[in-house]
Amino acid sequence: MPELLSIKNLEVSLKNPTNDKRGKVLRGISLSLGEGQRVALVGESGCGKSMTALSILNLLPQPPMEVTGGTIHFKDKDIHRFTREEWEAIRGKDIGIVFQDPITSLNPVFTVGVQIEETLRKHLNSSETEVRQKTLNLLAEVGLPDPKRVIGQYPHQLSGGMCQRVMIAMAIACGPTLLIADEPTTALDVTVQAQILELVFKLTQQNKMAVLLITHDLRIVKGHADRVVILYAGEVMEEGTPEDIFVHAQHPYTEGLLASMPQFEQKGKELVSIGGVVPSPFEDLPACVFANRCPKVKDKCRTEKPEFVLNKTGHGVRCFYPSEK
Ligand SMILES: Nc1ncnc2c1ncn2[C@@H]1O[C@H](COP(=O)(O)OP(=O)(O)OP(=O)(O)O)[C@@H](O)[C@H]1O
Ligand code: SF4
Ligand SMILES: [Mg+2]
């Protein structure tokens, strides 16, 4: 499968404006997506998922954030060499984006039709009649009932789920090769979440789009990803196929995430969860960044850094004492 996106050893740091101290947000992340591949990036709140997405889009809040190392290639081109014009052409056309909060991501003063049409006009050379027709088609494609009515409505007249469908219509309007969906369902009701995910995956499959699905919820990854990357404190802890992660997890952090997933069989039982929280970028961490929360920690973990070790089948883990399953 030809490579579409390749991130190597990406480092992002953060400056504290009060004392100029630098913190580490991403500590050397590597991750790649092939054409049409579905990759899920999973980890708790604050582990660096959104900053990874914003780095790919060259939209990091700079300052206080800064890329301090590594490379990102999109279609074999180093994205840091793109000009402003190239970025304008790529964002929204080659790379579609869906963020967490559909209501605030849409502009409240314009109808949804105007917002989708603007995206189409910006990137495609189409007549006004074509733009209108394409917008109606997109609204139908994302499952909105009565596109002719919805096209003239404002975001506040639609539900959260409908707004997210509009956001998805905008993200796929120009036929991107990569869709980045950063917690696309977190703000929605559970039943709507499932419908939106189904829609994202139906559309990406139909249009052969690659998708980087970002989530803190491992449950939604099941059945929706070809590869899963587990992130903690700005480092990749484990990576593999869904089977590697759900059935043969080797890293204590992945095991903790799995144990905190409510299982059908566990109904009524207390949920097991990982004690503690993700450290702040300014915290001084032990050599293994998970050591302070790890149930298997040994002295070595605090002084020596575990390497990310990839086996022959592409299952990778960063731990001195991985589980064998
Ligand atoms: N604009 C900002 N200024 C300063 N620090 C920030 C900013 N945005 C994020 N951070 C910090 O950077 C770290 C990584 O944040 P990031 O938003 O990537 O986390 P995340 O994994 O997306 O979390 P969530 O699941 O809550 O969205 C966190 O410690 C966060 O507090
Ligand atoms: S290296 Fe040690 S502290 Fe880190 S995850 Fe493995 S066992 Fe836990
Ligand atoms: Mg985020």
- Distance CA(55)–CA(65), nearest Å, equals 10
Of the pLDDT bands very low, low, confident and very high (cuts 50, 70, 90), residue 8 is: very high
- Give dist(CA 256, CA 261) in Å, integer: 9
**153-173 residues labelled b (16+ CB within 10 A) or e (exposed):** bebeebebbbbbbbbbbbbbb
Within a domain: 179: no
Does 120 fall in a domain?
Answer: no
| pLDDT higher at 284 or 101 | 284
**Residue at 211 is within a domain:** no
230, two tokens: 């587990």
φ and ψ at 64, to 5 degrees?
A: -85, -10
Distance from first CA to last CA of the chain, Å, rounded? 28
Question: What pLDDT is stored for residue 25 in this prediction?
Answer: 97
How many angstroms does the Cα of residue 55 sit away from the middle of ligand 3? 12
Q: Any idea which ligand is nearest the CA of 293?
A: 2
Of the listed ligands, the closest to the CA of 27 is 1
Mutational test site, ligand 2, from 230, 253, 298, 304, max ligand atoms within 8 Å of CB? 298
Question: What residues make up the domain containing 57?
Answer: 3-36+48-82+217-317
281 lines ligand 1 (CB under 6 A): yes
| Euclidean distance between CA atoms 31 and 83, whole angstroms | 24
Given a cut of 70, whether residue 271 has pLDDT beyond it is: no
Q: What is the mean predicted confidence (pLDDT) over 129-158? A: 94
Tell me, using a 6 A CB cutoff, whether residue 306 lines ligand 2. yes
Q: What is the pLDDT of residue 274?
A: 80
Digit-coded pLDDT (tens) for 174-220: 999 999 999 988 878 888 888 888 888 888 888 889 999 999 989 88
* Predicted local confidence at residue 46, as pLDDT: 94
How many whole angstroms from 315 Cα to the centroid of ligand 1? 27
Atom of ligand 2 nearest to the CA of 286: 3
In the chain, the percentage of residues whose pLDDT exceeds 90 is 69
Which ligand number lies closest to the CA of residue 308?
A: 2
Nearest CA to ligand 1 atom 19: 46
Tell me which residue has its CA closest to atom 5 in ligand 2.
319
- DSSP notation for 34-47: ETT-EEEEE--TTS
Distance 37 CA to ligand 2 centre (A): 30
Helix (H) or strand (E) holding 23: strand 22-34
- Average pLDDT of the chain is 91
Q: Which two tokens stand for residue 323?
A: 């589980």
Residue 304 lies in a domain: yes
Q: Could you tell me the distance, in angstroms and rounded to a whole number, from the CA of residue 281 to the centre of ligand 1? A: 9
| 243-265 residue pLDDT tens | 999 999 999 999 999 988 776 44
For residue 325, pLDDT over 90 is answered with no
Q: Quick one: pLDDT at residue 270?
A: 52
Tell me whether residue 282 is in a domain: yes
Strand pairing category for 316-317 and 309-310: antiparallel
Task: Classify residue 160: in a domain, yes or no.
Answer: no
Contact 137, 128 (CB under 8 A): no
CA of 294 to the centre of ligand 2 (A): 6
Would you call the peptide bond into 63 cis, given omega within 30 degrees of 0 as the criterion?
yes
Identify whether 150 is part of a domain. Answer: no
**Whole-number pLDDT of residue 265:** 47
Is 243 domain-assigned? yes
Q: How far apart are the CA of 292 and the centre of ligand 2, in A? A: 9
- Residue closest via CA to ligand 1's atom 10 equals 46
Whole-number CA gyration radius for the chain: 21
Q: Is 232 in the pocket of ligand 2 (CB under 6 A)?
A: no
This prediction's pTM:
0.94
CB 51 near ligand 1, within 6 Å = yes
Q: What is the pLDDT of residues 288-324, one digit of tens each?
A: 999 999 999 999 999 999 999 999 999 999 999 999 8
Task: Tell me the CATH number at 287.
Answer: 3.40.50.300
| Residue minimizing CA distance to atom 6 of ligand 2 | 319
Per residue in 40-85, pLDDT (tens digit) is: 999 999 999 999 999 999 999 988 999 999 999 999 999 988 998 8
Quick check: CB of 50 below 6 Å from ligand 1?
yes
Which stretches within the chain are classed as H helix? Answer: 49-56, 84-90, 102-105, 112-123, 128-141, 147-150, 160-172, 190-206, 242-246, 252-259, 299-303
Domain count, the chain: 1
Nearest alpha-carbon partner for 239 in 33, 71, 53, 1: 33
